[in-house]
Chain A
Amino acid sequence: MASPSLMDTLFQRSLDDIIKGFRHQQSSTESIFISRVIEEIRREIKSTDLQTKSTALQKLTYLNSIHFIDMSWASFHAIECISSPTFSHKKIGYLAISQSFSESTPVILLISNQLRKDLKSGNEFEVSLALDCLSRIGTVDLCRDLASEVFILMSSSKVFIRKKAIGVVLRLFEKYPDAVRVCFKKLVESLEGSDSPIVSAVVGVFCELAAKDPRSYLPLAPEFYRILVDSKNNWVLIKVLKIFVKLAPLEPRLAKRLVEPICDHMRKTGAKSLVFECIRTVVTSFSEYESAMKLAAAKIREFLMEDDPNLKYLGLHVISIMAPKHLWAVLENKDVVIQSLSDEDPNIKLESLRLVMAMASESNLVETCRVLVNYALKSDPDFCNEILGSILSTCCQNVYEVIIDFDWYVSLLGEMSRIPNCKKGEEIGNQLIDIGMRVKDVRPELVRIARDLLIDPALLGNPFLHRLLSAAAWVCGEYVEFSRNPVELMEALLQPRTSLLPSSIRTVYMQSAFKILIFCIHSYFLQKEDMASEVSHLASKRECSESSGLATDKALVQSDQDEGFNPRDSNQSYEYPSVVDTGDGQTSTSTFMEKKSTMHESIVNVLNLMELVLSPLSGSLDVEIQERACNVLGFIELVQQEFSNPLIRKEANLDREEEIASRVVEWLHDGFSEELGPVSVTAQDRVPIPDELVLKENLTDLEAICGGVELPAPVSLTSPYYGQSAVFSVSNLQAEEDSEPSTESSSLLTEHRKRHELYYLPSEKNKILANDYPPANDPSSGINTNDATEDLVKLADQSLVSKRKPNHAKPRPVVVKLEEGEAAPVVSKKPELKDDLLSGAIHDILLGNEAKAASSQSNPSDKSSSKRKGKAKHVDLPDSKENLAVGEQPNHENPSSRRGKHRGDGKQKSKKSQGKKNGDGREDDGEKERQKIRDHHGRHKSRQRADAPIKVVPQTPDIPDYLL
C-alpha cells in the first residue's frame, strides 16, 4: 500500500493538469479521457496520504460539478478529508460534501461528529466551513444533533460567524422545527441589533419563514416596521417589504401605517429594485389606497418609458397584477401595452397579451378577438397558441360572462380551429360541448360549425385537433335535429379518412353516426305513422313529439327546402299540427307522399353506406370500435327488413316486424333526444348519506370470510347504496334506463358510458371500463361473459314484448349556469405537518414573549400541535377507509370474474331491497344503477378529498394589536 501511495503522491496529476488535459481533448475523446481520469482518481483517493487523497477528491468534485460524473461512491473519502487537521484538506472535503451529499447519502450520519467538532473549533474559518456545509446538506438528524451548537454560534462575538449561523437557522427550522424553541428568541433579538449584516441575514430568514406561514410572524410587525422606517440598506428594505406583503392581508390595520413609509421610499430612492418592490407591495396589498396606487402607476409609467426591457417587462407585469381591480391603470398605458404586443421579447409579448385580454369587455370583445386572431395568424406557433389560449380562457370565464352573441363566438371557435398552428383543439372542443349544453339558442349555429369542421378532410390529419373533431362529432350527433342535412353529416362521419383518428375518437364518430341514423329513421316513421293513422295515435304521438319538439322549436323557424331529404321539415309539418293546428297537418299530407319516396331512398342509401363502412370495423382489434360497429350493424339488420321492399310494407304497415323496428327506433330516439346538462361539481354533496350506510367499516374481515366463497361480497357492498341511488336518481337518467331493454341495450349502455366519459371525472372511465369490459384475452371470463350476453339477449327479447312505456323526463330548462359550484372547487393546499409544527412552535415562542397574548391563547404549542396532528389524522381517516371500501368493489369483482353470476345476484338483491315488481328488464337497470353508483361514489370520494384539507386549516387566535 505504501509504495503505490508514494508513487501516486509523486506523480499525481493536479487539478490544473486535469483541466488542461480536458482543454486539449476533442469532444469525441472526452469520455475516454474522463474514464481514465476517474480510474486514476479511484486509485489515488484510497491513498493514506491526505494530500493525495484531497487532491483526488478535488479533481472528482470538479468532474462532478462540471461534467456531472457520479461521485457518490467517494462520500466516505470526503468525510476523511474533512477530519484532516489541515485546513486546505478540510476545505476540499467540505466543498465535495456540499456539492454531492443529499439526504439519501448513506454515510451522512458519520459527519455529525466532525461537524460538531468544527462548529466548536477555535478557528473561525473552520466554523464557517461547517456552517456552510450544514446549511446545504442538513438532514433532520444532523439538524437535531447540531441545533444547540448553532444556537451558541448565534451569539458568537464574530459578526461573520453570527451571520452564517443565522443563515443556517433557516435550514434548521425547516428540518427540525423544535429548534425554534432554542433559537427563535435569539433570532428575534438579532433583529433589534445594530449590525447591518446581521439584520440583513435575520430579515432574510424571516422573509423565507413568513412566505410559508405568515400568521406566526404577525407579532413581529412592529420590529419590521421600525426597520422599514429606519434602515438605509436597500437589501434589507426589499426583504422587509416582502414580509409585509405576506402580513398585510392578515392584519388590515397594518396597511394604514405602512402606506406612508412605503410611498416615501418609492419617491426618494434611486434604486430601481427597491422602487419595483414598493410598487409591487402597493399593488398587491394596498390597492384600496388611491394615492399610493396613483404614485405606483406613475412609477410604472416611468418603467414602461425606459428603454431597458427588464423594466418594461416588470412594469407590464405589475400592471397585470393591478388589472383586475384597477383597470384604469391598464387603460392609461393602453398605447404601450398594444405596442408591446409586437415586441421582440416573448416575455413582454406574453405580458401585454394578458393585459390586452384584461381590457376585453362585453363591448370590445368582438373587436379585440378579431384583431388577436388576425395577429395569431401572423405570429410564430408558440405565441399563436398563447393568443388562442388566452382568448379561450378569457371568453369562458364565469360561464361565458362576457359573451353576448354566442353565434359569433361559436363561429370564432370554428375560425380558431382552422388556424394552421392551432394546438388548442382540446380546449376548443370542450367549449363547443359546454356551450352546446348550456346555451340552447346557439345549437343550430353550433351544428353548422361542427358540420363544417367534420366535413373538412384536412383537419383529420392534425392530431392536435382530434379532440376538437370528437367534440364536433358529438355535437352533430346530439343536436342532429338542427342539422340541415343529416345525410351529409353522416357521410362526413363515415368518410374514409376517419381511419386517421385514434380509436377513442372514432367511437365517438360511430356513436354520433348511429344517433343521426336513429334520428332519420325516427322522423321517417313519424311521418309514415302520421299518414297511416292520424287520429288513433294522436295522444301517443303528442307525447313522443314533445321531447323532440321542444328541442327543435328553434330550428323549425328556419326551414330549408333545398335538400332532398329533410327530416326537420317533416318534423315541422308533423309536429306542429299535433300541437298547434291540426288542419295544417292535413293539408300538407299530400306533399308527404312525394317526399316520402325520396326520404325512403335516402334512408336506404344511408343504411347501405353505414353497413359498407362499418362491416369491416366489426372485426376491428379495438374492442370499443368493434362493439359499436356490431351494435350498429345489428340495428341496421333489424331495420333493413323494414326498408327492403317498401311497397309491400306500405300495404301491411302494422306488420309485427315493423312494429318491433319502429318501437326500437322510438325507444332509442327517446333515449338520444334526452337533454344533457352540465353537472355541478357539488351535485354529489347534496345527496344525503343514508343512515344505514357505514362508510368507515373495515372490510378486511369480509375478505377473510368470503375469500373462498366467491360471491356475495360485491353485492353486499353495493346493496346499501341502492337506497342512496333511489334518492338521487336524476329523472333524466330514468328515461334512459327504462327505454333501454332492447337488443340495443348494450349500445345504450355504451352511450350512457360515453356521456359519463365526457362529463364526469376522467378517473371513472377506467373503473367503468374495468367493470364493463372483461379483458378480451381473459380466458376465465370468456365463458361467463357469454352467459351474460346470452342472458342479455334473452332479456332483451322478453322485454321487447313487455309493453312498458318510455318514461319521459322533463326537459331541462335552459341551463346556463348552475346556482353554485360552477367555479372550481376551492382546493386549498394541505398544510404540511412540518410547517404546522414549525408555526406552532413559533407561535408558542412569540406568544410566550408577549405575556398578555399568552393568556389569551391557552394551548401550549405542544398540545396545539398534537391537537392539530390529531385533527389531521381524524380527517385522513375516513378518507382512507372510504378508499378501502371503494377499492374493495372492483377488487372483488375483477379477479373472480364471474360477472354474469354476480349480475344475477345483484338482480336478486336489488329486487329484494327495492321490493319492486318483478320484471326481467330490471336486470339491466340494476347493472346500470350500480354503475352509476360507482360513478357517483368515485366522484364523492374525490370531493371528499378536496374537502378534507379545508377542514385542516389551523385556527389561530386573534392577534392583539401590536402596532398600537
Chain B
Amino acid sequence: MIQFVLLISRQGKVRLTKWYSPYTQKERSKVIRELSGVILNRGPKLCNFVEWRGQKVVYKRYASLYFCMCIDQDDNELEVLEIIHHFVEILDRYFGSVCELDLIFNFHKAYYVLDEILIAGELQESSKKTVARLIAAQDSLVETAKEQASSISNIIAQATNRRKQSNGSCPIVNGRWLTKLHFPRHSLTEL
C-alpha cells in the first residue's frame, strides 16, 4: 500500500503531503527533510526508485515538481509510477495543462483530486473520466453552496474572486512557475 504521497518542488518546497499511515508532525517533517535531500540530489538519468528505511520511494519528476510515493517492499514499482502518472494526467485535465502554480493556489483541490484516486493507500479509480466527472460534480456543489452563503460574504467572495481573476491573468511571478508540467508519454503506460 502507499504510505504517503509527497509533492516537492525542485527548490525543496513542499506542495502537497498526504499520509496514509500514522506519522506524527515531527516524523512528517523529518521524512520530508530526509527524502527531499535524497531525491532532489539524484541525477536525471538514474532510476526512479529509492530504498529508504526498509521501504521504497518511487518518484517522478514533472517539470519542476517531484511526485513521490512511498510504498512497501513488495509493491510493484512500475505500477506506482503508473499511479503517479495517472494522478498527473488527471490534474492536467482538471486544471487544463497544469503547472506548479495551479497546485500552489489550489492546494485543497489537489487533495480532493487525490482523494478520488486513492483511498486508504490503494488505487480506487483507474478511469480518468470518472474522476474528472466526480470532481466536477463536487465543484458545482461547492459553487451552489457558496451562492447560498450569506449575502455579505457572497459579495466579499465575489469581490475577491474578481480581484483574483485580474491577478491570475497576468503572470504574477517569474516564468519558471508557469512551466507546464509536460508529459513525455511514459514508455510503460499501457494500463
Tell whether A pairs with B: yes
List the one stretch of A340-348, A435-443, A923-931, A945-953 in contact with chain B.
A340-348
- Of B77, B107, B130, which contacts A65 at CB under 8 A? B107
Query: Which B residues are closer than 8 A to A by beta carbons?
Result: 1, 13-17, 20, 22, 24-25, 28-29, 43, 45-51, 72, 74-79, 81-82, 104-105, 107-108, 111-112, 115, 119-120, 122-127, 130, 134, 137-138, 141-142, 144-146, 148-150, 152-153, 156, 160, 164, 167, 172-173, 187-188, 190-191
Q: A66-B107, A88-B142, A197-B127 are in contact. Are A51 and B150 (CB under 8 A)?
A: yes
When the two chains form their complex, are residues A167 and B124 in contact, meaning their CB atoms are under 8 A apart?
yes
A163–chain B nearest beta-carbon distance, Å: 6
B180–chain A nearest beta-carbon distance, Å: 19
When the two chains form their complex, are residues A271 and B142 in contact, meaning their CB atoms are under 8 A apart?
no
Q: Which residues of B contact A879 (CB under 8 A)?
A: none
Q: A200-B126, A269-B190, A348-B47 are in contact. Are A16 and B76 (CB under 8 A)?
A: no
Q: Which residues of B contact A70 (CB under 8 A)?
A: 25
Q: A19-B104, A87-B142, A88-B142 are in contact. Are A9 and B153 (CB under 8 A)?
A: yes
When the two chains form their complex, are residues B124 and A164 in contact, meaning their CB atoms are under 8 A apart?
yes
Contact with B along A8-20 (1 / 0, CB 8 A): 0110101111011
List the one stretch of A250-258, A304-312, A356-364, A771-779 in contact with chain B.
A304-312
Q: Which residues of B contact A277 (CB under 8 A)?
A: 76, 79
Number of A-B contacts (CB under 8 A): 182
Q: Which residues of B contact A314 (CB under 8 A)?
A: 77-78
Q: Which residues of A contact B22 (CB under 8 A)?
A: 102-103
Q: Which residues of A contact B47 (CB under 8 A)?
A: 309-310, 312-313, 345, 347-348
Q: A102-B22, A171-B120 are in contact. Are A272 and B46 (CB under 8 A)?
A: no
- Of B77, B105, B112, which contacts A310 at CB under 8 A? B77
Q: Which residues of B contact A234 (CB under 8 A)?
A: 190-191
- In the complex formed, the residue of B with least CB distance to A271 is B190
A501 to B25, CA, bound (A): 40
- Whether a CB of chain B sits under 8 angstroms from the CB of A480 is no
A12 to B112, CA, bound (A): 24
A238 to B76, CA, bound (A): 8
A310 to B16, CA, bound (A): 25
- Whether a CB of chain B sits under 8 angstroms from the CB of A847 is no
A63–chain B nearest beta-carbon distance, Å: 11
Q: Which residues of B contact A73 (CB under 8 A)?
A: none
A243–chain B nearest beta-carbon distance, Å: 11
List the one stretch of A201-209, A532-540, A583-591, A936-944 in contact with chain B.
A201-209
A511 to B173, CA, bound (A): 70
Q: Which residues of A contact B187 (CB under 8 A)?
A: 272, 308
When the two chains form their complex, are residues A95 and B111 in contact, meaning their CB atoms are under 8 A apart?
yes
- Whether a CB of chain B sits under 8 angstroms from the CB of A233 is yes
- In the complex formed, the residue of A with least CB distance to B17 is A65
A687 to B117, CA, bound (A): 59
Secondary structure type dominating chain B contacts: mixed
A58–chain B nearest beta-carbon distance, Å: 6
- Whether a CB of chain B sits under 8 angstroms from the CB of A798 is no
Q: A102-B22, A314-B78, A345-B46 are in contact. Are A201 and B115 (CB under 8 A)?
A: no
A183–chain B nearest beta-carbon distance, Å: 14
- Whether a CB of chain B sits under 8 angstroms from the CB of A135 is yes
Interchain residue pairs with CB less than 8 A apart (25): A9-B153, A10-B156, A14-B164, A16-B160, A17-B160, A19-B104, A49-B150, A51-B149, A52-B153, A66-B107, A87-B141, A87-B145, A89-B145, A136-B120, A163-B119, A170-B122, A205-B122, A208-B1, A211-B74, A245-B74, A270-B190, A276-B76, A276-B77, A309-B48, A310-B81
**Known interface pairs A86-B149, A272-B188; 12 further A-B residue pairs with C-beta atoms within 8 A, sorted by A's residue number:** A14-B160, A14-B164, A19-B105, A52-B153, A58-B108, A65-B107, A87-B142, A167-B124, A276-B76, A313-B49, A347-B47, A347-B51
When the two chains form their complex, are residues B49 and A95 in contact, meaning their CB atoms are under 8 A apart?
no
Closest 8 CB pairs of A and B: A273-B78, A167-B119, A271-B190, A309-B47, A204-B122, A345-B46, A135-B120, A88-B145
B156–chain A nearest beta-carbon distance, Å: 6
A245 to B141, CA, bound (A): 44
- Whether a CB of chain B sits under 8 angstroms from the CB of A289 is no
Q: A197-B125, A197-B126, A308-B187 are in contact. Are A160 and B134 (CB under 8 A)?
A: yes
Q: A10-B152, A312-B47 are in contact. Are A168 and B119 (CB under 8 A)?
A: yes
Contact with B along A723-767 (1 / 0, CB 8 A): 000000000000000000000000000000000000000000000
- In the complex formed, the residue of B with least CB distance to A91 is B142
- In the complex formed, the residue of A with least CB distance to B22 is A102
When the two chains form their complex, are residues B48 and A310 in contact, meaning their CB atoms are under 8 A apart?
yes
Q: Which residues of B contact A309 (CB under 8 A)?
A: 45-48
- In the complex formed, the residue of B with least CB distance to A275 is B78
Q: Which residues of A contact B153 (CB under 8 A)?
A: 9, 49, 51-52
- Whether a CB of chain B sits under 8 angstroms from the CB of A852 is no
A74–chain B nearest beta-carbon distance, Å: 13
Give A473-491 interface residues, CB cut-off 8 Å to B: none
Contact with B along A707-725 (1 / 0, CB 8 A): 0000000000000000000
Q: Which residues of B contact A52 (CB under 8 A)?
A: 153
Q: Which residues of A contact B167 (CB under 8 A)?
A: 20
- Whether a CB of chain B sits under 8 angstroms from the CB of A408 is no
When the two chains form their complex, are residues A95 and B108 in contact, meaning their CB atoms are under 8 A apart?
yes
- Whether a CB of chain B sits under 8 angstroms from the CB of A242 is yes
What bracket does the count of chain A residues touching chain B fall in?
A: 35 or more
Q: Which residues of B contact A348 (CB under 8 A)?
A: 47
When the two chains form their complex, are residues A170 and B45 in contact, meaning their CB atoms are under 8 A apart?
no
- Whether a CB of chain B sits under 8 angstroms from the CB of A627 is no
- Whether a CB of chain B sits under 8 angstroms from the CB of A92 is yes
A537–chain B nearest beta-carbon distance, Å: 64
- In the complex formed, the residue of A with least CB distance to B190 is A271
When the two chains form their complex, are residues A271 and B156 in contact, meaning their CB atoms are under 8 A apart?
no
A20 to B101, CA, bound (A): 11
A727 to B16, CA, bound (A): 66
- Whether a CB of chain B sits under 8 angstroms from the CB of A62 is yes
B113–chain A nearest beta-carbon distance, Å: 12
A87 to B146, CA, bound (A): 9
When the two chains form their complex, are residues A235 and B191 in contact, meaning their CB atoms are under 8 A apart?
yes
A503–chain B nearest beta-carbon distance, Å: 33
- In the complex formed, the residue of B with least CB distance to A280 is B76
Q: A20-B172, A62-B107, A276-B78 are in contact. Are A347 and B46 (CB under 8 A)?
A: yes
When the two chains form their complex, are residues B108 and A344 in contact, meaning their CB atoms are under 8 A apart?
no
A122–chain B nearest beta-carbon distance, Å: 13
A70 to B29, CA, bound (A): 12
Q: A88-B146, A92-B108, A167-B120 are in contact. Are A272 and B156 (CB under 8 A)?
A: no
When the two chains form their complex, are residues B124 and A242 in contact, meaning their CB atoms are under 8 A apart?
no
When the two chains form their complex, are residues B120 and A273 in contact, meaning their CB atoms are under 8 A apart?
no
Q: Which residues of A contact B104 (CB under 8 A)?
A: 19
When the two chains form their complex, are residues B188 and A273 in contact, meaning their CB atoms are under 8 A apart?
yes
Give A258-276 interface residues, CB cut-off 8 Å to B: 269-274, 276
A67 to B78, CA, bound (A): 31
A592–chain B nearest beta-carbon distance, Å: 65
B49–chain A nearest beta-carbon distance, Å: 6
- Whether a CB of chain B sits under 8 angstroms from the CB of A61 is yes
A12 to B149, CA, bound (A): 15
Q: A86-B145, A273-B78 are in contact. Are A91 and B188 (CB under 8 A)?
A: no
- Whether a CB of chain B sits under 8 angstroms from the CB of A23 is yes
- Of A23, A242, A273, which contacts B74 at CB under 8 A? A242
Q: Which residues of A contact B48 (CB under 8 A)?
A: 309-310
When the two chains form their complex, are residues A170 and B82 in contact, meaning their CB atoms are under 8 A apart?
no
Q: A9-B152, A211-B74, A235-B126 are in contact. Are A164 and B119 (CB under 8 A)?
A: yes
Q: Which residues of A contact B122 (CB under 8 A)?
A: 167, 170, 201, 204-205, 208
A309 to B48, CA, bound (A): 8
B65–chain A nearest beta-carbon distance, Å: 14
- Whether a CB of chain B sits under 8 angstroms from the CB of A125 is yes
When the two chains form their complex, are residues A66 and B14 in contact, meaning their CB atoms are under 8 A apart?
yes
When the two chains form their complex, are residues B172 and A23 in contact, meaning their CB atoms are under 8 A apart?
yes
Contact with B along A306-327 (1 / 0, CB 8 A): 0011101110000000000000
A518 to B107, CA, bound (A): 76
